[in-house]
Amino acid sequence: MLLLTPILLAPLAAALLCLLVPSRRVMAALGVLAFATTLGLGIVLLNEVLAHGVVKEWSEFLSADALSAWMVLLISVVSLATSLYAGRYFQRDMAAGVVTPGRMREFFVLTPLFGSGMFLVVLANNLGVMWAAVEGTALSSVLLVALYNRRNSLEAAWKYVIMGSLGLALALLGTVFVYAAACKSNPDSLPSFNWSYLMSVARQLDPYQLKLAFVFALVGYGTKAGFAPMHTWLPDAHSEAPSPTSAMLSGVSLKIALYALLRFHILTTASLHGRADVGFSCHLLMGFGLFSMLLAPPFILVQKNLKRMLAYSSLEHVGLICVGVALNSPLTIFGALLHMGYHALTKPVLFFAAGNIHQTFHSLEFRIIGPGVGKVLPVTVMLMGLAALAAVGLPPFGLFFSELIIISGGLTAHQTTVSVIVLVALLVSFCGILQQLTRILLGARKPGDHPTDARRTDGVPAMALLLGSLLLFSVWLPAPLLELMRQAAAIIGGTP
Amino acid sequence: MNPPVPPEIGSHVIPLMAALMLVVQMLLIAQRMLLTSIRLFAIQSLLLAGIAAVVAYYYNASHVYVVAVLTFIGKVVFLPWLLNRLVHRIQIHQETDPLLNAPSSMLVCGALTLLGYSVTRPFTSLEKLGSNTLAIALALLLTGFFLMINRRKALTQVLALLTVENGVMLAAVALTTYGMPLVVELGIFFDVLVAVMVLGILVYRIRENFASMDTGKLDQLKG
* Chain A interface test: which of B169, B190, B218, B222 (most A C-beta within 10 Å): B218
Helix (H, G, I), strand (E, B) or coil at A466: helix
The interface predicted TM-score (ipTM) is 0.90
Tell me which of A79-93, B76-90, B138-152, B205-219 is least confident.
B205-219
Ordered mean pLDDT values, 10 residues apiece, chain A (496 residues): 87 90 86 92 91 84 90 93 90 85 89 93 91 92 90 90 91 89 76 83 84 91 90 90 92 93 91 83 91 91 90 92 90 92 93 89 84 83 90 87 90 88 91 89 74 72 90 89 90 70
Q: What is the pLDDT of residue B177?
A: 65
- The model's confidence at residue B127, banded by pLDDT at 50, 70 and 90, is low
Distance CA A123, CA A134 (A): 12
Contact by Cβ (8 Å): A436, A298:
no
Contact by Cβ (8 Å): A355, A89:
yes
Question: Which has the closest alpha carbon to B87: B49, B41, B46?
Answer: B41
Helix (H, G, I), strand (E, B) or coil at A189: coil
Residues of A in contact with B148 (CB under 8 A): 162, 166
Distance CA B143, CA A439 (A): 48
Q: What is the pLDDT of residue A253?
A: 93
Going from N- to C-terminal start, the domains of chain B cover: 8-210
Strand partners, A365: A305
Q: What is the pLDDT of residue A293?
A: 92
| Residue A52: HSE in the Cβ half-sphere, 13 Å Cα cutoff | 8
Distance CA B167, CA B144 (A): 8
Nearest-by-CA chain B residue for A140: B198
Residues with Cβ within 8 Å of A230's Cβ and at least 6 positions away in sequence, in order, are A163, A167, A219, A222, A223
For the beta carbon of residue B72, count every other beta carbon within 10 angstroms. Answer: 18
Nearest to B154 among A142, A158, A193 (CB): A158
Q: pTM for this one?
A: 0.92
- The 3-class SS string of A105-142 reads HHHHHHHHHHHHHHHHHHHECEHHHHHHHHHHHHHHHH
More confident residue, B14 or A289: A289
Contact by Cβ (8 Å): A312, A232:
no
Mean pLDDT of B88-107: 81
Helix (H, G, I), strand (E, B) or coil at B145: helix
Q: What is the pLDDT of residue B8?
A: 64
Question: Which has the closest alpha carbon to B3: B56, B68, B69, B48?
Answer: B56
Q: What is the pLDDT of residue A202?
A: 83
Contact by Cβ (8 Å): A347, A314:
yes
Nearest to B206 among A154, A180, A239 (CB): A154
Q: What is the pLDDT of residue A56?
A: 86
Contact by Cβ (8 Å): B144, B26:
no
Contact by Cβ (8 Å): B205, B160:
no
| Residue B2: HSE in the Cβ half-sphere, 13 Å Cα cutoff | 3
Convert B100-128 to b/e letters by CB count within 10 Å (16 or more is b).
beeeebeebbeebbeebbeebeebeebbb
CB contact under 8 A, A149 and B141: no
What is the nearest CA distance from B67 to chain A, expressed in angstroms?
A: 15
CA distances from B149 to A161, B31, B114, B157 (A): 15, 15, 19, 8
Contact by Cβ (8 Å): B51, B137:
no
Q: What is the mean pLDDT of chain B?
A: 83
Q: What is the pLDDT of residue A496?
A: 41
Q: What is the pLDDT of residues B157-215, one digit of tens each?
A: 899 999 999 999 888 887 776 777 888 888 888 888 899 999 988 888 888 888 777 77
CB contact under 8 A, A183 and B194: no
Is the confidence at residue B83, as pLDDT, over 70?
A: yes
Nearest to A132 among B141, B184, B220 (CB): B184
Nearest-by-CA chain B residue for A173: B168
Number of domains within chain A: 1
Q: What is the pLDDT of residues B110-121, one digit of tens each?
A: 999 899 888 877
How many CB pairs below 8 Å do chains A and B form together? 129
Residues of A in contact with B209 (CB under 8 A): 149-151, 154
Q: What percent of chain B has pLDDT over 90?
A: 22
Is the confidence at residue B23, as pLDDT, over 60?
A: yes
CB contact under 8 A, A142 and B145: no
Highest mean pLDDT among A331-335, B122-126, B214-218: A331-335
- The model's confidence at residue B2, banded by pLDDT at 50, 70 and 90, is very low
* Chain B interface test: which of A103, A113, A154, A238 (most B C-beta within 10 Å): A154
- Please give the radius of gyration of chain A, using alpha carbons only, rounded to the nearest integer: 22
User: Which residues span the domain enclosing A382?
Assistant: 4-493
Residues of A in contact with B161 (CB under 8 A): 162, 165-166, 169
- Residue B100 CA, chain-centre distance (Å), reads 21
- The model's confidence at residue B218, banded by pLDDT at 50, 70 and 90, is confident
More confident residue, B216 or A188: B216
* Chain A interface test: which of B1, B173, B180, B214 (most A C-beta within 10 Å): B180
* Chain A interface test: which of B145, B152, B184, B214 (most A C-beta within 10 Å): B184
